[in-house]
Chains A and B, each alone.
Chain A
Amino acid sequence: MHNLRAIYIIWYREVLRFLRNRSRLVGSFGRPILFLFIFGSGLSPAMGGLTQGMAPEGGGIDFVKFIFPGIIGMNVLMGSMMSGISIVWDREFGFLKEILVAPINRTVVALGKTLGGSTTGVIQGLLLLVLAPLIGVSITAEMVVKLVPLLFLISFSITSLGVLIGSRMKSTEGFQVIMQFILMPMIFVSGALFPMRDLPSWMNILVKINPVTYAIDPLRKIIFEAQGLPASVLEMLPQAGLGVTLFGHAVTMGEDIAIIALFGAVMIAVAVWMFNIQD
């Protein structure tokens, strides 16, 4: 019981800090708007209709709609990574010591932190749904219900990765490096921002071994399914590069979730282990 309460209070602190911090809230909203409207609208004409010839005129998926799930994913990933490595901030500002000398084990600390980050990650993902009507994406109750646990799973995995990195980092100076050289490349080679069609083979390999690919894919499936497209179109999406294929097999939602869950399980296990190593 003590452990559960301790996890709860660490989780609560994370959520409270997130909600109190306006700049983080605004930031988690500003970046995606920039990507969606500037990047998305700018590239849309060049990309043309991504489902041309598959869907009736005007009912298909254009580039802005295509990157919308990708941008939700990106936002969740960046927010989660920040939450995870915020452990370094706690260390730098001394609060981590208060937690580390408390009579609780470090697994509890890592779990509380990760669950807190996952919760704020879900919030940062769901917030973006308010932009959906502006780009003609319809929202259904079923879609939201399916999104919440999926976003939580994705966020949990990446927050764990953040905690893992943060547990060994001594200063906040490495933050930018982590963001630029780990997270951004993972997002770029995940199919979040461009269709996975006719890619150079080296990139194709990177995309397929990148766990983030399998996080973006189910988001896209859930959101596209809610757009009232005919089943025949949905089936053809992987062929058009709007879904992931592995050795010619279109990856199913269940497989996506299994892969991301496996990745998350490994990450949290390593994070807890790293965190338990004492000097």
Chain B
Amino acid sequence: MAIIEVKNLTRKFGDLTAVDDISFTVEEGEVFGFLGPNGAGKTTTINVLCTLLKPTSGEAWLNGHHAVRDQAKVRRSIGLVFQEPSLDDQLTAEENLNFHAILYDIPASARAKRMEEVLKMVELYDRRKDSIKTFSGGMKRRLEIARGLMHYPRVLFLDEPTLGLDPQTRTLIWEYILELREREGITIFLTTHYMDEAEHADRIAIIDYGKIVALDTPDNLRGLVGGDIITVKTTDDQLAAQEISQRFGFQVNEGENGLHFEVQKGEEFIPRFVEQLPLEIHSISLHRPTLDDVFLKFTGRRIRDEELSAKDQWKARMKRQRRPHP
């Protein structure tokens, strides 16, 4: 049986349908990504799966347990890293983990060992006695990942795991996540609106306005868009355009950076092309379709990283750095 099974799940908030009749399954050991713009229903889906929200209709099973009827069993099976920070910054790293360990009923005899294990994994063991107040945004995220793993969950949920973090830290966080998959074989369910992050997933569900518009491996999804895009600049672009359409039979478009045309298996085509074109080539480049192109194909819009406005990014960053409350 699949580790996550979702059937016709719908969740409404008043008139707004945040999640609209979605169904999917996630296999054990998979890295499964939810890709979509803000407000597409990603977090709502996670909140239903982790039993924080009840579905309006439809059903979900995690690790064979029903998300509404067997809440306690579902909760024991999952680890969570929320979009918003969720550490107590008046406590130390160790105290935060200890709090978690007791809530998840980890036996006293195993606590110290597991704490050491997860802290070493995210390279925070030396900082275990330090207050969270002194941690950077990236360190907090790593600690949250460590905490989410402490009770050996079968599924780790990562909701926008790198939101509000700088690029270097994002890379670092991803190293941990991928290492985790290698070492623990744990199932990872993540949401993101970053294209490059979604590439790490084994399978991706593209979600928009609460509906799954496409679900497949990143390669297959890109395959749906068509071929690779080749951009070329020559000594005489006009002549080159004629040559390309006559000799190779491709539809050529003229753009700012030169001529574009779409080709299947572009990397194999380029050597043949360079050899056969009777003109001097200044530059040639190959662009593979991105998940953004896939999103564009299915929704007619683009998700760009800028979609998270500068103000939202700032807010997310402030939230990570905010001083503790009294």
Does B bind A?
yes
B302 at the interface (CB under 8 A from A): no
Q: What CA separation (Å) do A106 and B54 show in the bound complex?
A: 15
B86 at the interface (CB under 8 A from A): yes
Chain B's closest residue to A98 (CB) is B86
| Interface residues as binary, B63-92 with A (CB distance below 8 Å gives 1, 0 otherwise) | 000000000110110101010111111110
Minimum Cβ distance to chain B for residue A112 (Å): 10
Q: What CA separation (Å) do A89 and B88 show in the bound complex?
A: 11
Chain B's closest residue to A108 (CB) is B103
Minimum Cβ distance to chain A for residue B31 (Å): 21
Q: What CA separation (Å) do A92 and B84 show in the bound complex?
A: 10
A188 at the interface (CB under 8 A from B): no
Structural contact, B103 and A6, CB atoms closer than 8 A: yes
Minimum Cβ distance to chain A for residue B317 (Å): 15
Known: A13-B88, A95-B86. A89 touches B52 (CB 8 A): no
Structural contact, B72 and A279, CB atoms closer than 8 A: no
Structural contact, B103 and A9, CB atoms closer than 8 A: yes
Structural contact, B105 and A5, CB atoms closer than 8 A: yes
Which B residues touch A13, using CB under 8 A? 88, 91, 95, 99
A101 at the interface (CB under 8 A from B): yes
| Interface residues as binary, B51-64 with A (CB distance below 8 Å gives 1, 0 otherwise) | 11110000000000
Minimum Cβ distance to chain A for residue B223 (Å): 37
B: contact size bracket: 20 to 34
Segment at the interface with B among A20-28, A65-73, A152-160, A251-259: A20-28
Structural contact, B90 and A17, CB atoms closer than 8 A: yes
Known: A93-B85, A102-B104, A104-B103. A16 touches B54 (CB 8 A): no
Structural contact, B50 and A101, CB atoms closer than 8 A: yes
Q: What CA separation (Å) do A242 and B105 show in the bound complex?
A: 51
* Partner among A17, A92, A172 whose Cβ is within 8 Å of the Cβ of B88: A17
Which A residues touch B325, using CB under 8 A? 86, 89, 92-93, 172
B127 at the interface (CB under 8 A from A): no
Q: What CA separation (Å) do A9 and B105 show in the bound complex?
A: 11
Structural contact, A278 and B54, CB atoms closer than 8 A: yes
Minimum Cβ distance to chain A for residue B17 (Å): 15
Which B residues touch A269, using CB under 8 A? none
B326 at the interface (CB under 8 A from A): yes
* Partner among A5, A21, A92, A100 whose Cβ is within 8 Å of the Cβ of B52: A100
Q: Which of A58-93 contact B (CB under 8 A)?
A: 86, 89, 92-93
* Partner among B51, B87, B98 whose Cβ is within 8 Å of the Cβ of A101: B51
Q: What CA separation (Å) do A36 and B123 show in the bound complex?
A: 52
Minimum Cβ distance to chain B for residue A195 (Å): 34
Q: What CA separation (Å) do A97 and B86 show in the bound complex?
A: 7
Q: Which of B11-26 contact A (CB under 8 A)?
A: none
Chain B's closest residue to A102 (CB) is B103
| Interface residues as binary, A183-218 with B (CB distance below 8 Å gives 1, 0 otherwise) | 000000000000000000000000000000000000
Q: What CA separation (Å) do A104 and B103 show in the bound complex?
A: 7
Q: What CA separation (Å) do A121 and B326 show in the bound complex?
A: 15
B170 at the interface (CB under 8 A from A): no
Q: Which of B101-125 contact A (CB under 8 A)?
A: 102-105
Q: What CA separation (Å) do A156 and B147 show in the bound complex?
A: 31
Q: What CA separation (Å) do A101 and B49 show in the bound complex?
A: 11
Q: Which of B179-206 contact A (CB under 8 A)?
A: none
Minimum Cβ distance to chain A for residue B51 (Å): 7
B100 at the interface (CB under 8 A from A): yes
Structural contact, A16 and B75, CB atoms closer than 8 A: no
Q: Which of A105-149 contact B (CB under 8 A)?
A: 105
Which of B76, B88, B104, B322 lies at the interface centre, i.e. has the most chain A CB atoms within 10 A of its CB?
Answer: B88
B residues in contact (CB < 8 Å) with A: 50-54, 72-73, 75-76, 78, 80, 82, 84-91, 95, 98-100, 102-105, 147, 322, 324-326
Query: Could you show 10 A-B contacts with beta carbons less than 8 Å apart?
Result: A6-B102, A13-B99, A16-B90, A17-B91, A23-B326, A92-B325, A93-B324, A97-B82, A98-B99, A101-B80
